[in-house]
Copies of this chain bind each other. A is one copy, B any other.
């Protein structure tokens, strides 16, 4: 039943060999891995204006272009820096790997946990922004915003559990639609003013401040706009998902992504300046521009719809990359091992489900308002950017190969810039929520280290030295004691008893007497039945069944050689309906979990199936 539902939702199981066919080419790789980076263009310009307009009024539009140019510069520095990473790390060079390899384990874990947090935040922020776009378009749905968010998460989770390629087709198209409609808007917007002489009518005419822009305001605006740069990491993290030659394809995608982001971001910033769009809580900057360029017609709604869609799809970048990152961390032993197992459809199901649950918790806690979520965002990205590029810098400096000075300069320069940005973002957004991320990163690093420590302990405890030779087994040299607990003489007990009798002659039939009456009854029936094994009866004044058994095993009554084994054989009822479990005492489960702590014991379950 459950399997059937799963098959309908997720499709049939896939063989491990089919892994290759699940990878994507440049055409599908672009929308999957870049929707996060491209979609952030939709709100990055607005973020800049939110800082500049209250501070310097109409001067904001002029300064916005400088800030935007600086961010585009940062984007290109990052792009070139990451192209170098792709060259050096063909198997996927996320910040985690690069930092761990070139700086050390702790920086690697810091980068890893910063990225993990940001992937979860990307899902929450993008989904809530997308849901916000939907509810702004259809105000009747405003009350169901959180439910819409959660439905989107569920749909995306199912899509991703189905597998990589299917999800590429499902989620890739909106990214292209967004890119095309944005380019159309930019072209039409420029042509309308420059060629047809349209005079823009801004919603609100700004007062003419005489004040000059301060350095701090400029930095804040820069920090706000830096959301445009998030998502670049995704491509170099996702190299193994590409078709061969995967490195080349990834570099291609990164280059295309950089160009598209440049065109869109610069274009929208230019339009914003030209059309004097003032940020407001009611209307996004992009929608203000679209309204002026196209009027209240079909194209306005197309822009709105594709913006909403790409924001939702941006979350998909995390769905593609977060599980992969977790699987890499988990292979290194810093995260639970289950996270590096591929599910029935070859996706890392556990990572996908973990992401979905974590994002849902964030969405529920913040009531689906991306407003409250945004201050947490971007700090993590820039911390990992810095560590990754500093790692690459160290690599080139140590390696000293080829034109290493040139390469080291690019990475080092990138590291310095992103480090400054991280500090700026951290300081300006600290009280608004960035402190949560700053607190969470060391906690995650600590947990990861504890997990590694545990796995190391387990590995030490399990390791078999290569020179150890197998034991010689001499039959009869050691004895196998089998204890079969009995409550009443019935068929399930008999099944356990016969199993024991087929294995050994050292059988102890153990009865815990809670009340005299039933014990006497058992004694009588046992004598009548006459197997030839005496009953061992222990009284239990406190009505516990377990206590007397443990005491008996530990007592001097029970003499064992050093190589002897004790097996406790217990029948377990197997019932057909789930609620039937509640009707049985599950004594055998309690006995088993209590005896598991003993070194010299084996616990055998004999299933006894109750037909119905």
Contacts and interface: CB of A to CB of B under 8 A. Distances in A.
A471 B13 CA distance: 46
Contact of A462 (B464, B492, B606): B492
Contacts of A492: 462
A21 interface: no
A473 B501 contact: yes
A491 B606 CA distance: 26
A104 to B, nearest CB: 24
B604 A602 contact: yes
Interface stretch (A49-57, A217-225, A357-365, A580-588): A580-588
Given A514-B16, A528-B466, A603 B605 contact: yes
B605 A596 contact: yes
A607 B383 CA distance: 44
Given A16-B543, A542-B13, A583-B451, A598 B604 contact: no
Contacts of A607: 595-599, 601, 603
A499 interface: yes
| Interface bin, chain A | 35 or more
A93 to B, nearest CB: 23
Contact of A515 (B16, B463, B563, B609): B16
A597 B574 contact: yes
A585 B338 contact: yes
A6 B296 CA distance: 70
A314 B210 CA distance: 78
The count of identical subunits is: 2
Given A471-B498, A585-B338, A542 B15 contact: yes
Interface stretch (A67-75, A178-186, A393-401, A565-573): A565-573
B480 A502 contact: yes
A580 B504 CA distance: 36
Contacts of A534: none
Contacts of A199: none
Interface of A: 13-17, 336-338, 341-342, 344, 451, 454-455, 457-458, 461-464, 466, 468-471, 473, 478, 480, 489-492, 494, 498-499, 501-504, 514-515, 528-532, 541-543, 563, 565, 567, 569, 572-575, 580, 582-585, 592, 595-599, 601-612
11 contacts: A16-B542, A341-B543, A454-B580, A470-B529, A499-B565, A572-B596, A598-B607, A601-B607, A602-B606, A603-B604, A603-B607
